[in-house]
Amino acid sequence: MLTKAGIPMNTTYLERIEQEVKQMPPEYLPALLNIIHTFRESVQLNTATQSFQQGWQEALNGETQAIETLWDDLET
């Protein structure tokens, strides 16, 4: 079975991405790289250490909420 682009379905995602990139005009590659980089940063989770450091820095900067307000925006 083939995808819409004519690529076999059993091909790995990395191979499929590579095939798509090879079909791109060279002038679009910088924009594509930017899109991929931005996407990776948006979905990549911080390590526990990074998460703690960020939370600690926010607390030191006073970026906190009163505990009573934590559930204000949640629907019941």
Tens of pLDDT, residues 11-33: 788 888 999 999 999 999 999 99
User: Alpha-carbon distance 18 to 70, whole Å?
Assistant: 44
Number of domains in the chain: 1
61 within domain boundaries? no
Query: Who wins on pLDDT, 74 or 12?
Result: 12
Mean model confidence pLDDT for the chain: 86
Is 13 a member of any domain?
A: yes
Q: Is 7 part of a structural domain of the chain?
A: yes
In the prediction, which pLDDT does 3 show? 64
Q: Which element (helix H / strand E) includes 16?
A: helix 13-22
Structural domain contains residue 14:
yes
Are the CB atoms for 61 and 53 separated by under 8 Å?
no
Q: Is 16 exposed, middle or buried (0-12, 13-18, 19+ CB in 10 A)?
A: middle
